[in-house]
Structure 1
């Protein structure tokens, strides 16, 4: 719902952090020509051996290119897998089983330092919903945000460590009944790294203008999406969830009706001893961050910005 900013230096640092573990196990699998699953041998197919041999050769940067696949190239890569390499994504095929062993079991689950990864991205709220904080305070604490595999690791195991496939998210969006194993290739979801700010736009409608006590909790204000990506509304239940946030729209409407923004803006602009920028004044008027690039910093900032602009508050 809100864009993530592409930072290639972060993805390069991520590659350096994971490559040794991946190469170590990848080489072991190539040497053995098989893995063990439930005490049964699962043998490398000729096609998978050729693919892993290419990844194992550091001189051609194949593994680095896989880990650092750009968001756009991820789309093309997944399209190719679905059209030409079905054995890699067939969860019942031995190729998929071996790729899981390398990239998921030994790479992601045992090798990735998740606290370091989350802190490297520096995003405060869930990009899928912008409703929940995803702070983490210590590598030793159990309370951490989720890391969603945008293309699920069960079907696309070789993407289990690809930087732009790893999306920090809240438990509501990555949990039961939401994203889970939903395949973006099937559901037409858009990677947060490819989102535009106007892909989603929230609006409001006053169904009853004769509101006696607008703060009573009984509201005739409707919050809805004017622009959206349908797959996201379905998978993340965004339409129904944002309908519940009508109370925020009410407070913004009251500010507009009381001419709050104009008076407060004049006061802050002329305040002696402190100098506020326009965006800082907008932030104090809204009660939330006012710049698009800061939407990730506080929950519901997208709602505040869209309806605040609609009301003329900012």
Structure 2
């Protein structure tokens, strides 16, 4: 739901490869798999989402064994030294690990749901936390992507472990946070004609609506995303947010916001502009570029717009 945008993504990707390229244990490889991995390791680790299909075709056409690839890239095979993702994700790994990548990506709200915080905290007293890394393409089904940078999606435990699990995702069927922008495809609304008239939770359900001028592929990917992460069910647990916005809309209008700005403009810097008033009053950011900064920002932005608050 939040697109992951950083100007330095390509640089982070290359750094990730340089830091982890020695995590892959090739002892169990047959000559065929060993040769392919040695010749293509950087390509596999740094592959852009659009290039995943070519690597999948390589695996198929060359007859590379998934059980061997799993040992190398996932590293969770019993009785085999844990390299690959197992080493990267282990808390005891002192060199570059999942905490380091999460810290560099600085994704503080789950990009799949925009509901949960995903802060990274590294503490010296062993009280640390980080987002989980979902494998967009399932590492058990396609183990060759077990350590591919653009296949590792920082996400909350609810989306990754509780809901998505091992569901089959593909670039052409689901929203990929590094390349797709859900906010440009879907808006939140309610299933009643007049949002301003609702008074209690039983009056409405939160739904998603298509935005204008989207493609069939965008619609299908967004619909699959909503279904795969049970987003309508999750968001209908947040009807109180909608009801609070309705109350705000009954008390304030555009003139009210402007009056607050003008009242404080000459004597204090409490409010810099109308958007600043709205952010402080609504408790959320109101611009599309900021929905990744706080949980529920997209819900509040879309419903506020529907109510004429922004």
TM-score category, normalised to shorter length: 0.7 to 0.9
Match of 2:74 in 1: 104
- How far is 1:122 from its partner? 0.7
Judged with a 3 Å threshold, the aligned counterparts in structure 2 of structure 1 residues 77 and 284 are, in CA distance, closer, same or farther, namely farther
Q: CA deviation at 1:188?
A: 2.0
Paired positions, count:
278
Q: 1:218-229 to 2 correspondence within 5 Å?
A: 218-227=201-210, 229=222
Q: SS where residue 201 of structure 1 aligns?
A: strand
SS at match of 1:193: coil
Tell me by how many angstroms 1:154 deviates: 0.9
| Deviation of 1:204 (Å) | 2.2
Equivalent residue number for residue 136 of structure 1 = 120
Q: Deviations over 1:141-168 (max 9, x none)?
A: 3543211011111122221111111011
Unaligned regions of 5+ residues in structure 2, if any?
76-82, 90-96, 211-218
Which one of the candidate residues 100, 115, 122 is aligned to 2:106? 122
Partners of 2:229 and 2:109 lie apart in 1 by: 15
Q: Does 1:16 align with 2:18?
A: yes
Instruction: Point out where structure 1 has 5 or more consecutive residues left out of the alignment.
Output: 30-34, 36-42, 56-62, 89-94
Q: CA RMSD in A?
A: 2.7
2:44 to 62, 66, 77: 66
Q: Distance in 2 between matches of 1:278 and 1:209?
A: 23
What SS does structure 2 have at the residue aligned with 1:52?
A: helix
Shift of 1:280: 2.4
Q: TM-score, normalised by structure 1?
A: 0.79
Could you list the runs of 4 or more consecutive aligned residues of structure 1 that deviate by over 6 angstroms after TM superposition? Answer: 207-212
Residue equivalent to 2:213: none
Cα distance in structure 2, aligned partners of 1:209 and 1:150:
36
| TM-score, length-scaled by structure 2 | 0.80
Distance across 1 between alignment mates of 2:230 and 2:293: 22
SS in 2 for 1:184: coil
For 1:84-95, list aligned pairs within 5 A. Answer: 84=61, 87-88=63-64, 95=65
- 8 A Cα contact 1:204 1:249, kept in partner: no
Q: Following the alignment from structure 1 to structure 2, what is the Cα–Cα distance between the partners of residues 163 and 138?
A: 21
2:277 is equivalent to residue 300 of structure 1? no
* Change beyond 3 A, Cα 1:209–1:169: closer
User: What is the CA–CA distance in structure 2 between the aligned matches of 1:53 and 1:17, rounded to whole Å?
Assistant: 16
SS at match of 2:4: coil
The equivalent residue for 2:247 is: 254
Pairwise mapping of residues 182-201 of structure 1 onto structure 2 (< 5 A)?
182-185=167-170, 188-196=173-181, 197-201=183-187
Q: Output the CA distance in 1 between the equivalents of 2:309 and 2:176.
A: 31
